[in-house]
Amino acid sequence: MSSDRAAARAPRLTLVQGDITEQAVDAVVNAANSSLLGGGGVDGAIHRRGGPDILAECRALRASHYGRGLPTGQAVATTAGRLPARWVIHTVGPVHSASEDRSDLLASCHRESLRVADELGARTVAFPAISTGVYGWPIEEAARIAVETVRAADTAVEEVRFVLFDERAYAAFAARME
Ligand code: AR6
């Protein structure tokens, strides 16, 4: 039995192995960096498939609000361009550290993304395994934080779909959701 506490309006959790840029959902979460100007991994894939409108809005957001960058643990939305979604919610995961516990920041990425989704009126939201690529987070630990945080969230989002690229990540999330 899980010790995670489900909130009153907790979303249904689903799991898919695949590419997040192919998900037909209201909002796709991007594991971005604070520059909001793109990068590799999920970020690169989202900008490539979504086209230049996403980057144009990211640049505008930088100019209007985030001249110093989007802080780690926060989230902000743009259009999804040509992706089969309505919005991209960009969040900045923490780089994993062996000497410092940054779990709160990773949890914050999930909470803040759902808060932005609520502001948008999104009902279905796809998340990648934030911080588990370039940012080095161990997949089991990231899966625990992601699943616990989403289960405890008070949100009008009805479905949170975790979209995992590879089998190992899928297995880690599946184990947490049992
Ligand atoms: N769909 C779903 N998951 C994916 C996809 C995809 N198309 N591509 C990769 N993954 P990462 P981070 C998985 O590195 O660790 C970028 O350069 C991947 O296997 O994308 O948060 C940003 O600009 C891994 O499990 O994000 C930042 O600089 C997970 O997505 C930095 O990387 C996250 O890996 C952010 O690093």
- CA triple 3-6-8, angle to 5 deg: 155
Q: Quick one: which of 30, 177, 142 has its CA closest to 89?
A: 30
If you count them, how many residues does the chain have? 178
Residues with CB under 6 A from ligand 1: 19-21, 31-33, 39-43, 45, 93, 128-135, 163, 165-166, 169
> What is the structure's pLDDT at 81?
98
Sheet holding 75-79, edge to edge: 12-17, 159-164, 124-127, 27-32, 87-92, 75-79
Could you identify the residue written with the tokens 């780690």? 72
pTM of the model: 0.96
Is the distance from CB of 32 to CB of 92 less than 8 angstroms?
Answer: yes
Q: H-helix or E-strand containing 126?
A: strand 124-127
Instruction: Give the three-class secondary structure for 2.
Output: coil
> What is the structure's pLDDT at 4?
54
131: buried, middle or exposed (CB in 10 Å: 19+, 13-18, 0-12)? buried
CA 98 and chain centroid, separation: 22
- CA triple 12-83-154, angle to 5 deg: 25
> What is the structure's pLDDT at 79?
98
> What is the structure's pLDDT at 9?
83
pLDDT along the chain (178 residues), means of 10: 61 97 98 97 98 98 96 98 98 97 98 98 98 98 98 96 98 96
Task: Determine the residue type at 104.
Answer: D
- Ligand 1 centroid distance, CA of 156 (Å): 26
Residue of minimum CA distance from atom 33 in ligand 1: 133
From the CA of 35, give the closest atom in ligand 1.
23
Residue of minimum CA distance from atom 20 in ligand 1: 41
- Ligand 1 centroid distance, CA of 136 (Å): 10
- CA triple 162-140-170, angle to 5 deg: 40
- Ligand 1 centroid distance, CA of 1 (Å): 30
Alpha-carbon dihedral 113, 86, 12, 173, rounded to 10 degrees: -70
Which of 42, 91, 165 for a ligand 1 pocket mutation test, highest count of atoms within 8 Å of Cβ?
A: 42
ipTM over 0.95: yes
From the CA of 46, give the closest atom in ligand 1.
7
